Amino acid sequence: MTTTSLRPRPLILSLAGIAIAAIATVGLAQTPKPEAAKETRLERGKYLVEEVSRCQECHTPILPDGSFDKANWMKGATLVGIPAKPIEDWHQKAPDITSTSKLWTNWKYEGFVAFLQTAKNPRGHKAGPPMPAYTLKPEDAEAMAAYLKSLP
């Protein structure tokens, strides 16, 4: 009968130590530049806006073939559906949320960030339905606002 030793093997431990040292060294040597950090924030914002929150579902017009009108990305749209029962303060239009919109002129970056954190506009009112009441972490709200601000 053969028994297997439960002791770590020196060669495996040595290789693991070398790999950990290499990862740590590479991590320290590749400190992101400020531009790279900004790009990362924009990428995170785009992911949160387009993949998680799906803002384009309401804020981008839909073409006859059912695809999004990329030429008017996040420029505002008329909502397709209406609730089966009337909902107080229901908005049938979603506003333009790009950097050139009246909303950005009025709210500015700080207003968008605050709205995404508190679910209240700069006047202290909540958004009307069907807009979800987001209460995001500051870094997520900032990333989303940065991405929206980058849209022409």
Domain ranges (residues) in the chain:
34-150
53 in Cβ contact with 144 (< 8 Å): yes
DSSP-derived secondary structure letter, 20 = H
Please name the amino acid found at residue 139.
Answer: E
Question: Where is pLDDT greater, at 128 or 22?
Answer: 128
- Which value, in Å, is the radius of gyration of the alpha carbons in the chain? 24
Q: Give CA angle at 22 (20, 24), nearest 5°.
A: 70
Question: Residue 41 carries which side chain, given as an amino acid letter?
Answer: R
Choose the weakest-confidence range: 7-16, 106-115, 141-150: 7-16
* pTM tops 0.75, yes or no: no
Residue range 79-103, pLDDT digits in tens: 988 889 989 889 999 999 999 999 9
pLDDT tens, position by position, 2-20: 554 455 444 444 444 444 4
Cis peptide before 10 (omega within 30 of 0): no
What token pair was written down for 38?
A: 């900004």
SS3 assignment, position 136: coil
Question: What fold does the segment set 34-150 form as a domain?
Answer: Cytochrome Bc1 Complex; Chain D, domain 2 (1.10.760)
Burial of 13 (0-12, 13-18, 19+ CB in 10 A): exposed
- With a cut of 80, say whether residue 113 has pLDDT above it: yes
Residue 148 reports pLDDT greater than 80: yes
For 130-139, how does the pLDDT look when each residue is reduced to its tens digit (9 = 90+)?
999 999 999 9
